[in-house]
Amino acid sequence: MPQPETRGKPIILFYSYSHRDEDLRNELAKHLTVLKRAGLIEEWYDRKIMPGEEWDGQISAHLNEAQVILLLISVDFLASKYCFDIETKRALERHQANTARVVPIILRPVHWKLAPFAALQALPKDARAVTEWPNQDQAFVNVCEGILAVVLAWKNEPERGACLGAERTDRAPASRPLRARARILDAALPRRVLKGAATALVAMLRRLDSPGLREIVEIDTSYGVGPDEVRSTKSFPLEFPVDASGRPGPLDLLIRIDSPDFEPHSQTRTLTVPPRGDSEPRVFLLTPAREGSLVVGLHLYQGNAEVAACLLRTQSEQAESDTISRTQALVSVPLAVGAFDEAEAGAEAEAEQTNYPLNQRTPPSAAAAPPPDKAEPTVQYREPSRYSEWTSSRPPALPLPTPRDSATVRAPRPTIALPRRPRFLWAALIGVAAFLGVMVLVTRHC
């Protein structure tokens, strides 16, 4: 397998943008950090101009030096005279001379179909603005995939030689169009997956001398697959369409995924292959429906003819969270109802003695009770809420009053200690009354 060329000089990216879109540009730069750390790209934008430097000269110099120029499209970008009339014009001139690649990136919704760059393939997918995606991170991931494909195609294109960005002098004449090109299908699926958890199947088309998907998954670990999990087919020819001038154009192929052991069972995507580079990676999300050995079939079609196919195998396992026993522990706590320990009984007895007159040594319950046929109803006493909770033993039930001429001998009536009104309330009332009196006196005096 040929060695990747990422160890050479990195590709220079130039950002052409409006300062009103600086926050979105910063987010895109964060997503491209992995490419910078891998030595694939170097980025430049106008915020890197040092104090005292001529900003117009610095922008022009870096614009002429960059190999990939990113146009961050928005309504403010199109309204900017410098971005639209100067930077965009020079970028398209270099794109036509094949000394740079211009990539429009739609940040915010705007009508750009009549712009001079409308004929170029834009990012994200289907030229849907980044701010219109439900998740902007997904939009930037799609943009990064497209930029990575452009960078790899630019670095590995054999016609460019060792001098990147130089104007091509050995371009094939129009009378000899490049019609047939050999390609290889790369596909990757993790060796082990979890039942019920979504996993990614990645596929792309590459040239024979390109590292292709192995290099991409090694740089970008978000796909969840490793370079050793990539499977490649044998090379096969592709017929690219040519325009009136004889130049080959991009080719649209169809990828179909047959996955009977996954959900969904079948998926279809369109894959665009440039005539002089690798295609963008295509991601298919699959969810294993059962455990064991699973098989996925990948088929590549050009029109109605199948041009390539491969078979991917994986092992599905049960998730650890599903194997944990779902038994529940039952804890019983005994609650004592109507019973007190010795300490509480002593406290209750002491409380009863303090609630009765000193001359009464026994509680009313110890006195002679009336006969059963003359039993009197009792009144239950409830303490205020600021004390302890309701009890049936403190104080005991009190007998209802009887006529004075009753012959029944009764015990002395116990004294009930009612809660007193808080002293601070009386003090507050006295203070308010005194204040009102003083105010009345002052008013009369005036």
Q: What is the pLDDT of residue 133?
A: 93
* Residue 198: partners with Cβ closer than 8 Å, 6 or more residues away: 285, 286, 287
List, for residues 261-298, the tens digit of each pLDDT value: 898 888 888 888 888 788 888 888 889 988 999 989 88
For 410, the 3-state DSSP assignment is coil
Tell whether the model's pLDDT for residue 400 goes beyond 60. no
Long-range contacts of 34-40 (CB under 8 A, 24+ apart): 34/219, 34/220, 35/144, 35/147, 35/148, 35/151, 35/219, 36/10, 38/6, 38/219, 39/6, 39/7, 39/10, 40/6, 40/10, 40/11, 40/148, 40/151, 40/152, 40/155, 40/219
Looking at the DSSP bridge assignments, the partners of residue 204 are 186
Interatomic CA distance for residues 397 and 292, integer angstroms:
75
Candidate from 14-23, 66-75, 231-240 with smallest mean pLDDT:
231-240
Provide the mean pLDDT of the chain.
Answer: 75
The pLDDT-based confidence of 330 (bands split at 50, 70, 90) is very low
pLDDT top residue among 170 and 321: 321
* Token duo for residue 209: 């001398």
Q: Which two tokens stand for residue 337?
A: 């109802």
**Percentage, residues of the chain above pLDDT 90:** 18
**Domain ranges (residues) in the chain:** 1-168, 180-319
Residue 249 pLDDT greater than 90, yes or no: no
Residue with tokens 């969904």: 264
CA angle 170, 171, 173 (to 5 degrees): 120
Q: Is the pLDDT of residue 13 over 90?
A: yes
Selecting from 2.60.40.10, 3.50.50.60, 3.30.70.270, 2.30.30.90, what CATH number does the domain 180-319 have?
2.60.40.10
Cβ(240)–Cβ(179) under 8 Å?
yes
* pLDDT for position 37: 87
Which CATH class for the 1-168 domain? alpha beta
Encode burial over 385-395: b for 16+ CB neighbours within 10 A, e otherwise: eeeeeeeeeeb
One-letter amino acid at 273 equals V
For residues 188-201, give the mean pLDDT: 88
- Reduced to 3 states, what is the DSSP secondary structure of residue 193? strand
Q: What confidence category does residue 350 fall into, taking pLDDT thresholds of 50, 70 and 90?
A: low
Residue type, 32: L
Q: Using CA atoms, how far apart are residues 347 and 195, in angstroms rounded to an integer?
A: 64
Q: What is the DSSP string of 295-326?
A: EEEEEEEETTEEEEEEEEEEEEE--HHHHS--
Provide the CA 223 distance to its chain's centre, in angstroms.
16
The C-alpha atoms of residue 292 and residue 300 are separated, in whole angstroms, by: 27
**What is each CA distance from 41 to 66, 67, 158, 163, 182, in whole angstroms?**
10, 10, 19, 16, 27
| 308-325 burial code (b ≥16 CB/10 A, e <16) | bebebebebeeeeeeeee
Average pLDDT over residues 166-179: 41
pLDDT of residue 51: 86
User: Is pLDDT larger for residue 409 or for residue 209?
Assistant: 209
Provide the whole-model pTM. 0.40
Residue 378's Cβ-count burial label (10 Å; 0-12, 13-18, 19+) is exposed
Q: Exposed, middle or buried: residue 162 (CB in 10 Å: 0-12, 13-18, 19+)?
A: exposed
Q: How confident is the model at residue 92 (pLDDT cuts 50, 70, 90)?
A: very high
Please determine, for residue 364, whether its predicted confidence score (pLDDT) is greater than 70: no
Helix, strand, or coil here: 128?
A: coil
What the block records as the tokens of 178 is: 């490049």
Q: Between 14 and 428, where is the model more confident?
A: 14
Q: Is the peptide bond before 104 cis (omega within 30 degrees of 0)?
A: no
280 compared with 166, residue with greater pLDDT: 280
H/E segment holding residue 68 = strand 68-73
More confident residue, 410 or 19: 19
